[in-house]
């Protein structure tokens, strides 16, 4: 995908919510991976039926490629304001690519307790996995050249949009 346009992020989020509606446990916690996943988890909490505790997680120190990626200029705080032990968690991320952010998030979650289950929801699955990780809920699947990254941005009014950037300039993998 070089000249082709990306899907509308808001429409894709609606599709993701439709796929999750009725399938996600009423009390499942939504945990977004900083930053795009946290934005999505917040929106999904309002779009899905049920009482979904909301959390966010910054996986910076848990990534196995930390030495290569280094730290972002501004670290986020992990916030899990619910009992992780025995809970059902829906881990939310913006773009699933290598699987390393998801692996790091699962490792960090287990430092807080052992959940009953963890399912993965992503806005975009672009393939290219380096780890055996698969999302249960996917808004859209896209093929994108390895030298490009898909980035999710949030406008001041809260609306979301996707863009293509040279690899290495986007926030996550």
Tell me the pLDDT band of 22, cut-offs 50, 70 and 90: very high
Tell me the pLDDT band of 69, cut-offs 50, 70 and 90: low
Output the CATH code of domain 9-166.
3.40.50.2020
Cα torsion 127, 119, 105, 142 to 10°: value is 20
Q: pLDDT at residue 110 above 60?
A: yes
- Is 16 within 8 Å of 47 (Cβ atoms)? no
Tell me the pLDDT band of 5, cut-offs 50, 70 and 90: confident
CA distance 65 to 164: 22
Average pLDDT over residues 120-128: 97
Extents of the domains making up the chain: 9-166
Share of the chain above pLDDT 70, in %: 88
CA distance 167 to 124: 16
CA distance 115 to 135: 17
Q: pLDDT at residue 162 above 60?
A: yes
Average pLDDT over residues 40-57: 96
Average pLDDT over residues 27-37: 96
Which token pair is 11?
């429409």
């Amino acid at each position: 995908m070089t000249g082709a346009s990306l899907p509308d992020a808001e429409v894709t989020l609606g599709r993701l919510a439709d796929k999750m509606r009725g399938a996600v446990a009423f009390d499942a916690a939504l945990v977004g991976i900083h930053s795009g996943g946290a934005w999505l988890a917040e929106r999904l909490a309002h779009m899905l039926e049920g009482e979904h505790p909301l959390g966010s997680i910054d996986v910076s120190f848990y990534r196995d490629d930390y030495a290569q990626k280094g730290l972002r200029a501004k670290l986020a705080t992990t916030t899990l304001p619910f009992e992780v032990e025995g809970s059902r968690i829906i881990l939310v991320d913006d773009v699933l690519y290598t699987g390393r952010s998801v692996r790091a998030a699962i490792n960090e979650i287990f430092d807080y307790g052992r959940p009953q289950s963890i399912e993965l929801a992503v806005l975009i699955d672009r393939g290219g996995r380096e780890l055996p990780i698969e999302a249960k809920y996917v808004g859209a699947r896209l093929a994108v050249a390895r030298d490009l990254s898909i980035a999710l941005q949030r406008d001041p009014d809260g609306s979301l949009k996707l863009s293509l950037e040279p690899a290495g300039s986007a926030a996550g993998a």
